[in-house]
Amino acid sequence: MPRRPNNSRQTRALLATLLDHPHTWRHGYDLAKETDLKSGTLYPLLMRLSEQGLLESCWQEAKRPGLPPRHAYRLTASGLALAREQELAAIAAERAGALA
Amino acid sequence: MSAVSGVYRRFAVKLAQHASWLLSGAQSPWAAAMRRELEYIDDDSAALRWALGCVAASYRARLADWLRFDARAWRRVATSAVMLLIGLTLLENAGGQTQPPRPRFDETVCDLPSVSPEVRPRLRCGTVSVPRDYENPSAGRFKLAVVIIKSEQQPSWPEPVVYINGGPGAPLTAYAAYQARTPYAPLRDLILVDQRGTGRSEPSICPDQERRLRDATFAIAATNTDEEMARRQAAYLACRDQAIGRGLDLKDFGTRVTVEDFESVRQALRVERWNVYGESYGTAVATTLVALHPNSVRSVVLDSIYPPDPVLPRSLIVSDAREAFFAHCARDKLCLTSFPDLAETYRDTLVRLDQNPLTVTLPPQMRHGEDRITITKSLFEVGLSNLLYDPNAYPALPRIIQSVHDGDAQGLAQELGTVLASQAAAAEAINRATQAAVECRDRPHFHGPLTVAASVLDRAQLYGVCDRWSEGGPPPLVPVGTRVPVLVLAGQFDPVTRPAASRHVAELIGGSARFVEFPLIGHNVRHFSACGTRIAADFIDHPAQTLDTSCTDRVAPIHFQPRHDTP
């Protein structure tokens, strides 16, 4: 299956947010708030990145009793590489803009 | 939760379930992931928006399947479309509603005194904004200071402890360093709140008048004259006028309001249930909290109950405590030898002071302008009742009485420097305006007249203030028949509540309440008793288990100080 492009604005925002704390497991609602993405956009992205091996997920026990386990996400090594690559590209683009 | 927001939440859950139903097979963990996030979203409108997004996400994921046009898929499409339409309509309406904002904890820098470097990383400080008037949310808001002390052991146990301190009017968060050293249940986090109008919480009712209120109250203790009663009334009226001039409504105080403040803090901190520790006046807040919000309380400790009206006159309660102390002295060999008839010595001292007050040079730490204090009959009566609060003062108490009786100003000055200094510091910290604001709403008896025979212990309270301060409000409540486990701790010499009255409250609460009396303790059991500390901690961690209270039988005796040599 050909790899689908990961350079949409929403995907870049999500990768950049995950890159902020690359080793921390993050939750869906928190990611939605930080990236300003609606759940209807966020979850298809998470599913796609996961399918591409760029994202790993796990179930975490709730910190407070009475709440269900929660799905958590973080970048895999290849996800991390892609996110860094995109970050460098963004910095380069900004510099180019500044010099222009 | 309003009826409308309840509808949003229920519909959000339905939508999320529907989204799960749309996904299956390898995608089902994603459906569960989206659905479970809902439980972590506190705002009902946000939850509904989230659930709508979940349906949209599920659609996108299943689009390929649906394109196969099988009949079952089409039925799902039709159902989804209807549900989406209803959801969107509800959301549209949500925009027009004026929902009160959900309470939020706004974290700030911890700027607290005496915090050691070891404790500092365990503290989280912030504010929670609450409505001034819960029935009229548009009437403005107050910010309450909140401190969370994380347990030394992390992760801490769930269900933290909230400590509700006494007063009313006393600050709390400023003492976070002390609270961190003496946790209630060491494995749990501890939450401290400055009640509205105290410590670092808003509002300041009449900041310019506070000293005047304190001095006026002290003047009644010192002289007990009608002139001083009138002067105090004028001081409180000036405070009330200043408060009204500053836009405050004195009806926005009282235990029933304070209870809603605590409930707001609980919601802001996302605590599902907490263990409540009420002390002194804080027990009135604690019992009312259990009565009104039983589902958010896991257990409650009532340390030195301050029961709702009707209560006996303070002078009678103090007199009982004092006589119990004198009787104890008469049973103690050393005390009896040094002070053969302490009760009689006390009564004779009052007679002597009435004729000849005793002037004493104050130790430096107690000087506020004046370097001498005149011990009058009334001041002695008030001072002695205050000393009954504090077991640390008990060894010296007979000797203090004897010194005053003998006119031994020098001997008394030594005692003042040690035992009275801490009492004076505690009295200084109370915000008198907030105390009146709460008590005048809570306690109908302060709106009534004083009996002719009232002693200074009654007159120093808020009689003559409340009837012109604010009208009475809804009273504190006792959670009669509650299922929440309750532990009542009472001190033998408590000058605020007779142990029998505390026991009566425990009986009123019913089968879920246990009562423990502590010998040789006054007011605030846990503060002064290692045995009380342990029993309370055991109860908080295991409220359903049988309590081992045997340590109350092994209390160390009071090591009475012998009388001074004759001057």
Would you state the structure tokens that stand for residue B194, as one six-digit string? 């400055």
Average pLDDT over residues B74-90: 65
CA gap B300, B321 in Å, rounded: 26
Greater model confidence, B222 or B142: B142
DSSP tag of B144: E
Q: Tell me, what's the pLDDT at B418?
A: 60
Report how far apart, in Å, the C-alpha atoms of B549 and of each of B489, B516, B531 are: 11, 8, 8
Q: Which of A6-20, B94-108, B217-231, B323-337 has the lowest mean pLDDT?
A: B94-108
| Residue B131, number of CB atoms within 10 A of its CB | 21
What phi and psi values does residue B519 have, to the nearest 5 degrees?
Answer: -65, 150
Chain A nearest CA to B57, separation (Å) = 4
Q: Tell me, what's the pLDDT at A24?
A: 86
Measuring CA to CA, which residue among B163, B121, B158, B125 is closest to residue B144? B125
Average pLDDT over residues A11-29: 89
Q: Tell me, what's the pLDDT at B198?
A: 97
By a Cβ cutoff of 8 Å, what residues of chain B touch chain A?
27, 29-30, 32-34, 36-37, 39-41, 49-57, 60-61, 155, 158-159, 270-272
Greater model confidence, B566 or B86: B86
Going B57 to B58 to B61 to B66, the CA torsion angle's sign is: negative
Nearest residue of A to residue B41, measured between CA atoms: A29
Greater model confidence, B170 or B85: B170
> B279 near B529, Cβ under 8 Å?
no
| Pair (B217, B88) in one structural domain | no
pLDDT in tens, B320-338: 999 999 999 999 999 999 9
Chain A nearest CA to B546, separation (Å) = 24
Would you state the structure tokens that stand for residue B509, as one six-digit string? 């609460």
Greater model confidence, B539 or B36: B539
- Residues from chain B contacting residue A66 (CB–CB below 8 Å): 272
Greater model confidence, B520 or A79: B520
Measuring CA to CA, which residue among B458, B382, B456, B469 is closest to residue B420? B382
Greater model confidence, A86 or B314: B314
Q: Tell me, what's the pLDDT at B320?
A: 95
> B392 near B528, Cβ under 8 Å?
yes
Question: Residue B37 and residue A67: Cβ atoms within 8 Å?
Answer: no
> B206 near B433, Cβ under 8 Å?
yes
- By DSSP bridging, strand B358-361 and strand B372-375 are antiparallel
pLDDT in tens, A77-96: 888 888 888 777 777 665 55
pLDDT in tens, B40-70: 888 888 888 988 888 888 887 777 555 544 5
Q: Tell me, what's the pLDDT at B91?
A: 60
- Whole-number average pLDDT of chain B: 88
Q: Tell me, what's the pLDDT at B202?
A: 96
pLDDT in tens, B204-213: 999 999 999 9
pLDDT at B107 over 90: yes
Report how far apart, in Å, the C-alpha atoms of B257 and of each of A96, B183, B263, B368, B437 are: 60, 27, 10, 35, 11
Number of domains in chain B: 4
DSSP tag of B6: H
| Pair (B150, B285) in one structural domain | yes
| Pair (B306, B318) in one structural domain | no
Longest Cα separation, chain B: 109
Three-class SS of B15-55: HHHHHHHHCCHHHHHHHHHHHHHHHHCCCHHHHHHHHHHHH
- Residue B440, in any domain of the structure: yes
- Residues 6+ away with beta carbon under 8 Å from B402: B338, B339, B345, B408, B563, B564
Q: How confident is the model at residue A97 (pLDDT cuts 50, 70, 90)?
A: very low
Q: Which residue type is seen at B189?
A: D
CATH architecture of A9-99: Orthogonal Bundle (1.10)
For residue B159, the number of C-alpha atoms closer than 13 Å in the C-beta half-sphere is: 18
pLDDT in tens, B152-170: 988 889 899 999 999 899 9
Measure CB to CB from residue B158 to each of A40, A57, A64 and give the nearest one: A64
| Pair (B336, B445) in one structural domain | no
Average pLDDT over residues B476-491: 96
Going B210 to B211 to B214 to B216, the CA torsion angle's sign is: negative
| Pair (B523, B448) in one structural domain | no
| Pair (B279, B144) in one structural domain | yes
Average pLDDT over residues B164-180: 94
Would you state the structure tokens that stand for residue A53, as one six-digit string? 């091996």
| Pair (B275, B136) in one structural domain | yes
| Pair (B493, B549) in one structural domain | yes
Question: Residue B29 and residue A68: Cβ atoms within 8 Å?
Answer: no
Candidates A47, A57, A61, partner chain B, best to mutate (most B CBs within 10 A): A47
Measuring CA to CA, which residue among B85, B65, B67, B68 is closest to residue B22? B65
Q: Can you count the helices (H) and strands (E) in chain B?
A: 21, 11
Distance of CA B193 to the CA centre of its chain: 8
Measure CB to CB from residue A44 to each of B32, B40, B61 and give the nearest one: B61
Would you state the structure tokens that stand for residue B564, as one six-digit string? 């001074």
Chains A and B form CB pairs within 8 A to the count of 77
Of chain B, the percentage scoring pLDDT greater than 70 comes to 88
- By DSSP bridging, strand B358-361 and strand B513-518 are unpaired
| Pair (B351, B488) in one structural domain | no
pLDDT in tens, A38-72: 999 999 999 999 888 899 888 887 777 667 778 89
> B516 near B549, Cβ under 8 Å?
yes
- By DSSP bridging, strand B123-131 and strand B486-491 are unpaired
What phi and psi values does residue B148 have, to the nearest 5 degrees?
Answer: -110, 125
Q: Which structural domain, as residue segments, surrounds residue B88?
A: 3-96
Question: Is A36 within 8 Å of chain B by CB?
Answer: no
Nearest residue of A to residue B52, measured between CA atoms: A40
- Residue B561, in any domain of the structure: no
Chain A nearest CA to B35, separation (Å) = 10
Measuring CA to CA, which residue among B34, B56, B42 is closest to residue B5? B42
CA gap B441, B153 in Å, rounded: 41
pLDDT in tens, B274-289: 999 999 999 999 999 9
Q: Tell me, what's the pLDDT at B66?
A: 55
| Pair (B276, B419) in one structural domain | no
Question: Residue A65 and residue B158: Cβ atoms within 8 Å?
Answer: yes
CA gap B141, B101 in Å, rounded: 11
Nearest residue of B to residue A38, measured between CA atoms: B53
**3-state SS class at B191:** strand
| Pair (B58, B75) in one structural domain | yes
| Pair (B413, B442) in one structural domain | no
Cα-based torsion angle of the residue sequence B331, B332, B338, B344 in order, rounded to the nearest 10 degrees:
-30
